[in-house]
Structure 1
């Protein structure tokens, strides 16, 4: 069944991938957190393969320029929780301060794309209250519903109706030209998404969100115990890998230190 579903998913992906006259697109990595100590990995796999293992993980955010439009992908941890042992991550400069290095102010950001609602991906979203929030519809329903797993204060600009929310029920071609596309990868959460960014020189880049957290879990299809749905998680891993192979994409696992270094950090950019 997984193979059938995968074939159907791939057949639905339109080619060519992007319009030839698309605006210039660039992609910059922003460091948004680092583990305060090696993280115990037992919960990152439900088969026991990771029991007793520890390793360092990072939190990464991304700035995408699409012509005159600016999008952030994930917003890292809340600086107020930096160094908190319960959160497990610390950070140096806040996201707003790092953007200032390249002349980007909060008011310049048009879109805040969120892979999913977990704390280490949404911590600085409210710093961009005028932006359109782009998020999976199932995840937005969890946020609106007042889940104890979500800090609603981080989403006040959108919950109070003052700023727009663009919900993605499935894949979403944000600009309509194939260059920046949210990819529905449910499992970790119900509305979880990855991101495809098509660069003219560097080629396609696929950002995992939390489709996988580090390389061995990605390679061996290991599913964390805290994922919402195991079957969906495995189907999403299948789809993500098949798309990456079909597009010849550079895969960036957002919590994997070796992977995030594939992309230049502020103030540099990949084009």
Structure 2
């Protein structure tokens, strides 16, 4: 009888421990508070837009592309998505004689200061791909871990370098003085499904997009350079400087399907018409 009582007590203890563990696990998985800001990280005047089409579209057209960066607050943690154009461009007029004429009026730390965030609070720098207009101010955040597609990290070490790649912009990581985290395939950034880097190769070997599942306003899908403007989705437009045409088209289809399936707000980062899809800085989306 005593044995049965002991076993019963032991069983109750195990059950109680299991319930406590389940409760703790559920609590740990509880959704963190999410907040997203769009930052102004420059603009690029494209003198001849036909350079963005391998099917001879856009002849005689020019366009100004936006260069956007984004800050995501996940509880007390901060992710900076892309780092825009180099701060050295501030105060310089764009050279309109060049095929691509970048310009920048304000740096990222100044904008972060306006929303009460210090550069050292950025724990992760997520990079959609390794082109200069997305890596420009990365070194300002050398204390952060850099997440970048594994293929793009490898390309930063190639000789000769691919189009648009400037390793000097990420010198702290190249020198091993800052932590690098190359991502192969999709990456759940915080481990709770709220923020996911999505593998979207084609523009570059390791191109990625970012899905942010905001609890109040709904999912936001940040395109990286899977496309540069929205009409490329409808007309299957691929720039000739993309690494792989077939992968580009497959990634465009995947991105578009994800946006539709999740009813996500697709923000094409270089499309000036997409700026209004998110609240104007310093307001945020939640």
TM-score, shorter chain, exceeding 0.5? yes
Q: Specify the SS of the correspondent of 1:56.
A: strand
Q: Which has the higher contact order (CA 8 A, sep 6+)?
A: 1
Q: Specify the SS of the correspondent of 1:138.
A: helix
- How many angstroms does 1:146 deviate by? 5.4
Q: Is the 8 A contact 1:45 1:224 kept in 2?
A: yes
Say yes or no: does 1:152 pair with 2:174: no
The counterpart of 2:117, out of the listed 81, 98, 104, is 104
Match for residue 22 of structure 1? 31
Q: Is the 8 A contact 2:67 2:133 kept in 1?
A: yes
**What aligned pairs does 1:61-80 form with structure 2 within 5 A after superposition?**
61-80=69-88
How many aligned residue pairs are there?
Answer: 252
- How many angstroms does 1:217 deviate by? 1.3
Please report the RMSD computed on the Cα atoms of aligned residues, expressed in angstroms: 1.6
- How many angstroms does 1:55 deviate by? 1.8
The counterpart of 1:216, out of the listed 214, 219, 231, is 231
- CA deviation vs aligned residue, 1:74-128 (integer Å, no higher than 9, x gap): 0100021354524511111111111111121111100000000111111000000
**What aligned pairs does 1:202-213 form with structure 2 within 5 A after superposition?**
202-213=217-228
Match for residue 230 of structure 1? 245
Gaps of 5+ in 2: 1-27
- How many angstroms does 1:260 deviate by? 2.1
**What aligned pairs does 1:28-177 form with structure 2 within 5 A after superposition?**
28-35=37-44, 37=45, 39-82=47-90, 83-85=93-95, 86=98, 87-145=100-158, 147-148=160-161, 149-177=164-192
Q: Is the 8 A contact 1:205 1:251 kept in 2?
A: yes
Output the CA distance in 1 between the equivalents of 2:254 and 2:260. 10
Give the structure with the higher percent helix. Answer: 2
Largest Rg, 1 or 2: 2
Which 10-residue stretch deviates more, 93-102 or 48-57?
A: 48-57
Gaps of 5+ in 1: 1-18
- How many angstroms does 1:38 deviate by? 5.3
Output the CA distance in 2 between the equivalents of 1:55 and 1:99. 28
Tell me which stretches of 4 or more aligned residues in structure 1 moved more than 4 Å.
none
Q: Specify the SS of the correspondent of 2:72.
A: strand
